[in-house]
Amino acid sequence: MKSSNSRPSRVGKNPFVHELKFTLAEKIKIGLMSVTVFPVRLLLVSFFMLLAWPFAFTASLGRSEFVIEPQSWWRRVIDVCLRVIMRAMWFCGGFHWIKVKGQQAAPSEAPILTVAPHSTYFDAIPVTMTMCSIVTKLESRSIPVWGTLISYIRPVFVFRSDQDSRRRTVEEIKRRAQSGGEWPQIMIFPEGTCTNRSGLILFKAGAFIPGLPVQPVMLRYPNTLDTVSWTWQGPGAFKILWLTLCQPHNPMEIEYLPIYTPSTEEKENSTLFAKNVRKLMAKALEVPLTDLSFDDRDISLSHGPMQIYDYSCLLEFNQLVCRLGLRAGATSKSLEEQARRARKLQGERVGLEDFAQFLNLPVTDALTQVYSLFDQHEDGLIDIRHYIIALSTIYRPSKSMETLKLAFRMYENEENGEVLEEELVSICEIMLGVEEVELSGLFLSLDGPDTKKITFDELRHFIEQHPYFVRDYIDFKNHPGKVCCDRPKSCNGQSHNKDV
């Protein structure tokens, strides 16, 4: 599988991984703060959060979630009280001085604030300072105490696993944004998930679909030791809270950029609108653009005995099949059916028209790009089995043994279930996302005669007996074992010491 020439791959450091390393001095400081300052801060933070709850609960009584109403004088008083209480809570947590650059626009001028990068639950600080509405997952409403505070700011709830809910969410954002400033501003984190701030991942289009002016807002945590980042792989929520409260001071900067008014073309193309705002914010933040999205996290964080080492090509493949709707239709049952049909071809390579017919799709630019990823010999012919292996890999990236078993079913000899070494090479190259795989180490280590053939059961048993199978028995181009003397790491910075 090769990278397309249609666009450069810009992945870089894995934004979903956060590793903390402490010096001896930092460990001593955290130890002392843990038994002195931390308990006091935790008590005060909890006190102010509980103090805010009755104010938020009272102000939310009898208020419609869908109709904006004139704010009565007592609700305005509660709003001020809540801002003071929440600021006191953050102060007790070590956020003593929060530097604000620029000026927040009025709701009538910019109904939507796009905030990035989103890296931690401490990003709630600008929300509590402005009392803007937010877009958040529906489960947040059930969080004790904090859920009531979230409900007070009248958020737009989204249920991530419900596609229809997403559509309704976009419609609600559009309805509020087009109210002419009657609704509070909506503060949206367009990345859709937390990252480690090493770069800006792809923006979701929800904030840009209304085609109205937006105000970019940037968040910075210029602390020497990053204890705030809360990503998919790294310290958990409580550990982040503990380490942050153990810091003498937690600096934070909020910067409001000038209002971004979309062009006619951007109003009609929300993806272009989002892309241009993202570029603008990345330049101001002085961080790179990272061509990953919330939906790519599972691929970039794959684990298992055949975990992905270089996910660049597979991410490009994933984006293309998503555009074609093939990812949404991928299930274990559909993959098995495609594998059965591919086996009947007995390795016969096919052209673009036959590939389109196999998938029951018309020939389009996106399909042609998918096809080109598997045209290894650049002769206009591909092996459909390669496509199915890649699709299975991105569909269940952390269930590599299931993909391996599926691949064997397409390649194995009907009489003895064996596959040839060169066939296993192709399978490994696609599943690992690497090139120039060499398996001589594996076949030399197998019991019995060196036939350059292997069954799935033999390979599975060998992998179970050798936890670092890929590191020790597979060689490939840019293998991490060639440059690392300890356990391997891929170019994305992800540790590979959790093979199972």
Mean pLDDT for the chain? Answer: 88
Global model pTM greater than 0.85 = no
The residue-averaged pLDDT of 431-452 equals 85
β partners of residue 17? 233
Of 272, 276, 245, 241, nearest to 260 by C-alpha is: 276
Of 74, 79, 91, 73, nearest to 52 by C-alpha is 79
Residue type, 104: Q
CB contact set of 163 (below 8 Å; sequence gap of 6+): none
Q: Alpha carbon 365 to chain centroid distance?
A: 26
Does residue 331 or residue 487 have the better pLDDT?
A: 331
| Residue in the block written with tokens 């992998």 | 463
Residue 274 Cα distances to 60, 127, 216, angstroms? 33, 21, 11
Mapping DSSP onto H, E and C, the string for the chain reads CCCCCCCCCCCCCCCCECCCCCCHHHHHHHHHHHHCHHHHHHHHHHHHHHHHHHHHHHHHCCCCCCCCCCCCHHHHHHHHHHHHHHHHHHHHCCCCCEEEECCCCCCCCCCEEEEECCCCHHHHHHHHHHCCEEEEEHHHHHCCCHHHHHHHCCCEEECCCCHHHHHHHHHHHHHHHCCCCCCCCEEECCCCCCCCCCCECCCCCCCCCCCCCEEEEEEECCCCCCCCCCCCECCCHHHHHHHHHCCCCCCEEEEECCCECCCHHHHHCHHHHHHHHHHHHHHHHCCCECCCCHHHHHHHCCCCCCCCCCCHHHHHHHHHHHHHCCCCCCCHHHHHHHHHHHHHCCCCCECHHHHHHHHCCCCCHHHHHHHHHCCCCCCCCECHHHHHHHHHHHHCCCCHHHHHHHHHHHHCCCCCCEEEHHHHHHHHHHHHCCCCCECHHHHHHCCCCCCCEEEHHHHHHHHHHCCCHHHHHCECCCCHHHCCCCCCECCCCCECCCCC
Nearest Cα residue to 471 out of 462, 463, 480? 480
Q: Is the pLDDT of residue 329 over 70?
A: yes
What pLDDT digit, counting tens, does each position of 336-376 carry? 999 999 999 988 999 999 999 999 999 999 999 999 999 98
Q: Over the stretch 373-382, which tens digit does the pLDDT of each residue have?
A: 999 888 899 9
**Whether pLDDT at 325 is above 90:** no
Q: pLDDT-based confidence at 486, cuts 50/70/90?
A: very low
Alpha-carbon distance values, 419 to 316, 409, 425, 456, 483 (Å): 28, 9, 10, 8, 31
- In the predicted model, is pLDDT for residue 459 greater than 70? yes
pLDDT at 43: 97
- What is the pLDDT at residue 479? 75
Q: In what order do the strands lie in the sheet with 133-137?
A: 98-101, 252-256, 214-220, 112-116, 186-188, 133-137, 156-158
Residue 56 corresponds to which tokens in the numbers above?
């938020």
CA distances from 374 to 43, 318, 355, 412, 494 (A): 58, 14, 11, 21, 26
Residue 106's nearest CA partner among 187, 177, 188, 181 is 181
pLDDT tens digit string along 33-60?
A: 999 999 999 999 999 999 999 999 998 8
Distance CA 127, CA 115 (A): 10
Q: What phi, psi does 118 have (nearest 5°)?
A: -100, 115
- Asked if residue 92 lies in contact with residue 157, where contact means CB atoms within 8 angstroms, the answer is no
pLDDT band of residue 87 (cuts 50, 70, 90) is very high
Whole-angstrom distance, CA of residue 177 vs CA of residue 225: 38
Per residue in 250-280, pLDDT (tens digit) is: 999 999 999 999 999 999 999 999 999 999 9
Handedness of CA 308, 311, 315, 316 (dihedral sign): negative
